[in-house]
Structure formats: structure tokens, C-alpha cells
Structure 1
């Protein structure tokens, strides 16, 4: 469309189908939320009563502790296994590959139960000196309790996946930069610290954030070894008062609250490590609504 000064203006394409689908989705979601909010069987009063119940708060705190401890172990395990996979030593490569194969190939519940019942296989954990005395010996049950078994099971299982995330992130860095750094005599440790890791973090942070959010919800499987996490605490309450749905709503509320907090943290980390990248795009709400806002601004500039 020509302007008064003779220049051509850009006319944005109108997407009527998108608006129609958005309106239909909004109406369906609004109708469902209205039915849920006004249903007499929902018993929101029960939900409000137990939202900050001491048992629920205790279960929530245990869930947070499990998530933090398990992800710390997963990150450490993944870093070691990932480094071994990228090593030039074939023995380390084979050991790392076999460990990842085993941890990813067996169910998480099986691994949890294995660590929980480890005392039946090794009643005592000791460190002997070859052909000499034992430096120390400790009862397995006193060393690995329910919490320890849960952290080992969850953390080591996730560590196998973190190893692949690290490996993919490091391999995503252009090899030319590595060769250039080595040509000027930069050591391998300094190369990783100053060049490779800062760039690889752009590719490592998003899947690591997703893994942390997934870990938060996966902690509910510790019910199998009797740990009173958030979901288990809620189940114990509704086993007494038979208010299953209102109490499950309590669990959903706290899981969503924790997930939202982790998502905000992930977005901030992504933005931090995406600085200076020409491929960096908006994340979070800005990334969702950015195209819409740009199209509206273009329409206003062109007088539409």
C-alpha cells in the first residue's frame, strides 16, 4: 500500500483463524473453570482448611528437600559421567556408557527399592585395607535411611540423563573456538572454564530446568518406601476424611506454586546466559506474546 510520500508500507497478514481458535479455547477453559468453581461437590472450604495444614506443610518441605538434594546429586553425577563420555580414554568412555545404559534401562521404582533394601545385600559397609585391618565399618541401615535411599535412587537415575544433556551442550560449541584456544597454548581446564562452559550453558540450562521441574513431581514415587512427601501427606489425610478431590486440589496448588517458582528461575538463568547471542529469543511471557505485540505495533505504524 503506497503512502503519501510515495514509499511502500508493509501490510501485516490477518490471521482470522488464530483469533477464532483463541476465542473458542478461552470459552471452553472459562466454562470449565466456572463449573469447577461453582460445583457444590468440589468442597472448596475443605481445600482452604487444609491448604496450610501442618501435615501438608511438612510434606511440602520434604518434597522440596528431596528435589534439591536429588538434583544436586544428579548434576554432580551427570557432570562426571558426561566428562567421562567426552574423554579420550576408551576405558572411561566404556564405564560411562555402561553406567548410563544401566541407569536409563532399569525402572526408577526398581532403583529406589534396590537402595532401600541395600542392607539385605550388604548389612555392613566397610573400607578395608588390602591384607590389613578395616579402616571403618558402619551399619548400612544407619547410613542409608529412607531419605538417603530416595536421594540415591532419584539422583543417580536422573544423573544418567544429565550426562547426555552435558555432553550435547558441550558438543554444541563450535570446534573452531576450541582449536583456536589450543593453538595459543590454553590449557584444557581453562578452555572449559573460559570458553566452552559459558557457551554450552545456553543449551544446558533449558533441559536442566525441565529436569528439575520433572524431579519435583517425580518425588511422589517415594510413597513406595514410606516417605511422607506432599502427595503422601495428602493421601493420608483424605484416607481419614474421604475428601479426595478437595485434598488433591491442595496438592495441585502447591505443586503448581513450586513449578511456577522454578520456571521463573529458569527464565532468569536462560536470559542471563543468552546475553550476547544473536539467536537469543524472548522467553517466558514476553516470548509468548512478542509476535502478537509486534504485529499490532506494525498495524498501528501503517495506519491499520
Structure 2
């Protein structure tokens, strides 16, 4: 009896037989990846560009702005004198306001209930009263107190000051802005101090370091990372708030423009544009300083520092060149 074909092949031999080879796959070829289409983004971009172009065109061609008079007034000595007063008032008020804010913040965080109550009352009062009211009150302060004295309460006075001689327009403006700024700076500083990790305070206390050393060398440098951006925003608001000193007879940038506008009524719009551009320049300079100060204090807190505008420009140009090179190669 004959055996069927393949019957003499053992099971081991059948398992060791390799499977039939698969046909070779076609070679891989480079294909260009197409980005996801986002028509909504392109439409919104086009609308914004059209609106911006219309605004700039109207700003440049509208004769109402009188750009020739704008150029005449922009660097006039009287305008620059007012700008100098604005910078002087801002600088003094920013320094005194920050120092006062640090003292108020430390008093607010103190264990003394009296210091906490006084600090809270001061911050509550000056954050509630409009700045213009504070300035007008200080401007008329001599009507309430002709002289100021320092001595024993309900007793003899050791030193007496004539308020009318000390309270010049510049002094009134700086004191009013500093008092108001200190109330807001106190909350900024207090928030920055509270943002420091509690373990930092515990470690400093465990080392037996004095409280003053703990604050100056450990707590405050770390708190500056949070204080800086918030206080620079306050500083930008302070620059604009200096326009209110015009109401206490101090001719700053805005006050000078108002006076010149009353003398030359036809130039009121160019003068307002001059003031606007100068305030834009001042706030832009402060914003640039803020960026580099924040970048400085970000060291050690982030893995990589944020790129500067120049670095971003170089990276953008490098990306454009690489993209053009790839398209040329394809």
C-alpha cells in the first residue's frame, strides 16, 4: 500500500521548515509633512491687519492731528522742562514709596498687634482715598496747620517748622505720591515675602541667623522675584499718576501741555499728542528694564532663561533660512 505524499516527513522537520519569504517592501521615500490648515486664524489675522492699516492711515493723513505742530512742540524747551519735572517726581516718589511699602509690609507681618493695626489702617485709608484728594488736602495743609512742631506730647515743643516754607509744590507732589504709593507697594512687598517657601524661613531659623540677616540675605532676595514685576506695574501707574500734580500748581509734562494749550488754543491736539508719545516712551523704557530685571532674578528658578528680543530675532532669521534651504533642496 503506497503512502501519501509528505507522510514520511516528521513533525520536527515540519516545524523547522522556514515559512515562505514575504515580498520585499518598497523603499521608504521622504515625504513633506503638510501643516494643519487653520482658516480661522488666517481670517482673524487678515481682519486685524486691515483694521491696523486703516487706523495708521487715518492717524497719518488726518489733518486734525497737525503733525507739523507736533514736531514743533515735541522737543521744545518748555516741554522738556516739564518732562524733567515728571521724571524727578516719579523717581523720588518711587524710592520713597518703595521704602515706605517695605516698612509697612514688615509692620503688617509683625507679631505686634499695634504695628499690624496701624499698618492695616494706613493701607486701608490710602487705598480708599483718591490720589487727587490726597494731593489737594496736602496742598491746603497750611490752612489747617500753620506750623509743625516736634516735642513732648501735650508739653513743650523742641523744634518748630513753618509749613508754608517747607511745603513747596514739588514737596507736596512728592509727599502725596509717596504716601499713596507706599500703601500699594506694601501689599506688593507683603505678597512677595509670603511667596517665599516657608522651609526657607525654618532653615534660616534653625541655623540661628539673626532676623535682620535672614530678611536681607535670604527672604528678600527670593521675594524680589515676585515683587519686581508687580512693583514695576505700580511704577508705570505712578508715571501716569504724576499728571495729577498739575492740580497742585506743579507744571510737569501734562501741566506744561495744558498751559501751552491755553496759550495756543489751536495747538491743543498736537500738545496732547506730544504728551501721549512721551508717556508711551517712558512706560516703554520701564517695561524694557522690567524684562531684564525679571530675567536676572529668574536665574536658578528656571532651567533656561527667557530669550531676549535680539535672541528671538536671530532665532527667527535662522529658522527662515533653514526653511528656505529645505525648500530649495526639495
Name the TM tier (shorter chain): 0.7 to 0.9
2:193 — aligned with what?
170
Contact map agreement 2:102 2:185 (CA 8 A) in 1 = yes
Q: Which residues of 2 match residues 195-210 of structure 1 at below 5 A?
A: 195-210=218-233
Q: Distance in 2 between matches of 1:110 and 1:279?
A: 47
Aligned match for 1:274, one of 288, 291, 298? 298
Instruction: Give the Å deviation of 1:288.
Output: 9.2
After superposition, the C-alpha distances for 1:128-164 in whole angstroms (9 at most, x for unaligned) are 2468753221210111111111111111111111101
Unaligned regions of 5+ residues in structure 1, if any? none
Aligned match for 2:176, one of 128, 153, 169? 153
Are the structure 2 counterparts of residues 179 and 260 from structure 1 closer, same or farther at C-alpha, using a change threshold of 3 Å?
A: same
Matched, 1:255 2:253: no
Unaligned regions of 5+ residues in structure 2, if any? 1-26
Aligned match for 1:55, one of 78, 82, 91? 78
Are the structure 2 counterparts of residues 302 and 55 from structure 1 closer, same or farther at C-alpha, using a change threshold of 3 Å?
A: same
Q: Which of 217-226 and 272-281 deviates more?
A: 272-281
Q: Distance in 2 between matches of 1:297 and 1:197?
A: 45
Instruction: Give the Å deviation of 1:171.
Output: 0.5
Q: Distance in 1 between matches of 2:117 and 2:312?
A: 43
Contact map agreement 2:299 2:305 (CA 8 A) in 1 = no
Q: Which residues of 2 match residues 187-266 of structure 1 at below 5 A?
A: 187-242=210-265, 243-266=267-290
Q: Distance in 2 between matches of 1:59 and 1:24?
A: 40
Structure index of larger Rg: 2
Query: What number of residue pairs does the alignment pair up?
Result: 299
After superposition, the C-alpha distances for 1:168-205 in whole angstroms (9 at most, x for unaligned) are 10101110121122112122222212221111111100
Q: Distance in 1 between matches of 2:114 and 2:326?
A: 65
Matched, 1:180 2:203: yes
Q: What value does the CA root-mean-square deviation take over the aligned residues?
A: 3.1
Are the structure 2 counterparts of residues 98 and 135 from structure 1 closer, same or farther at C-alpha, using a change threshold of 3 Å?
A: same
Q: Distance in 1 between matches of 2:36 and 2:318?
A: 12
TM-score, normalization: structure 2?
Answer: 0.81
Matched, 1:137 2:160: yes
After superposition, the C-alpha distances for 1:243-277 in whole angstroms (9 at most, x for unaligned) are 22111111111111111111111111111111111
Higher relative contact order at CA 8 Å, sep ≥6: structure 1 or structure 2?
1
Contact map agreement 2:150 2:160 (CA 8 A) in 1 = yes
